Every structure is written in C-alpha cells, then in structure tokens.
Homo-oligomer: A and B are copies of this chain.
Amino acid sequence: MRGEVSSVNPVSDSPQALYLEDLHVGQHFNSGQYHMEAERMKAFAAEFDPQPFHVDEAAAEHTILRGLAASGWHTAAATMRLLMTGGLPIAGGLIGLSAEMAWPQPTRPGDTLRVESEILEIVPSRSKPDRAVVTVRCITLNQKGEKVQVMTTKIMVFRRPSPTP
C-alpha cells in the first residue's frame, strides 16, 4: 500500500493548475484511472462501513447488491483521489463546500474508475473579490462506461494572485 500511496501526485501546485480566470461554464476535464482492488475495498469497509455486501464475498451474494461492492464512501474517496491527481487541477487544491451524490451502480472488485467533470456554474463572491464558488458535476465511470457515482459539488476557487510590485 505504501508504494501506491506515494504515487499520488497532486497537481494543484503545478504550473498547469488552474485559477478562476482559467475556468468557464461548460469546461470539461478527464481524470486518470484508479483500480479498485477487492482487498482494499474490504479493508476500507471493515474500518468504516462493515456491511456484509462490502466485506464478505460469500455473504454478499445473498444481499440486494448480489455480490461484493465497494462502500459508496470508498467510491467517493477514490473519486477525490482521481480529481486530486489531475482530474480537476485547481490551483491551491480542491476546497469542497458541499456535495450531492448518488450511486446508480455498485463499484465491483477489479473495476477501473475514471472521472469526467464539467463546470456547471461560477458564482463570484460578493464580499471577497479574490474567489468564487464553482459548481462542478463529477461523473465516476467504470471500465464499461457505467456510472458508479454522480456528484455535484461546490468548491472554492481563487483568482490568480497579482504579481508582487
């Protein structure tokens, strides 16, 4: 696991990171890929969401999900990782204010996830002219193109800092 963790490479501080001026409604972004391993799925669920359909293949067969599925919160966390590692390269990082989410399909062991994002709305702050609240829809897809999570989230995005005189 350590090796995998160290491979995370946030781009929020890179020269490619985007400021408010670089964004427009309708803009699209595509993430890299994230592989959902059965063992990590079960360990995540054992810690946070210990339900039979998340932690035990055999028991999961007889549940409403008809087989092992990731906790929705694991899918959400994996989505965040994909957004942070190039999927949504916002300067200063992804400061989430709120999120609405649904899980139309289960995430299964061995699924490879990716995220397609689109900017829906940009609302500049009235009181703080250096920032805006940006609404983004992030659709998490599996390798078959099925939607495993649909999220609409509001994040805070800052203007490009003025050069120091």
Contacts and interface: CB of A to CB of B under 8 A. Distances in A.
Interface stretch (A23-31, A49-57, A115-123): A49-57
A8 interface: yes
B73 A80 contact: yes
A100 B99 contact: yes
- Is the interface on chain A under 10, 10 to 19, 20 to 34, or 35 or more residues? 35 or more
A77 interface: yes
Contact of A84 (B50, B102, B103): B50
Contacts of A76: 73, 76
B103 A97 contact: yes
A48 B132 CA distance: 25
Interface in A38-52: 43-44, 46-52
A78 B48 contact: yes
Contact of A102 (B8, B50, B98, B103): B98
Interface stretch (A14-22, A88-96, A139-147): A88-96
A77 B94 CA distance: 18
Nearest to A2: B46
Given A73-B80, A80-B71, A95-B64, A50 B8 contact: yes
Q: 10 smallest A-B Cβ distances: which pairs?
A: A48-B77, A98-B102, A51-B93, A100-B100, A73-B77, A8-B50, A48-B81, A49-B80, A5-B46, A10-B50
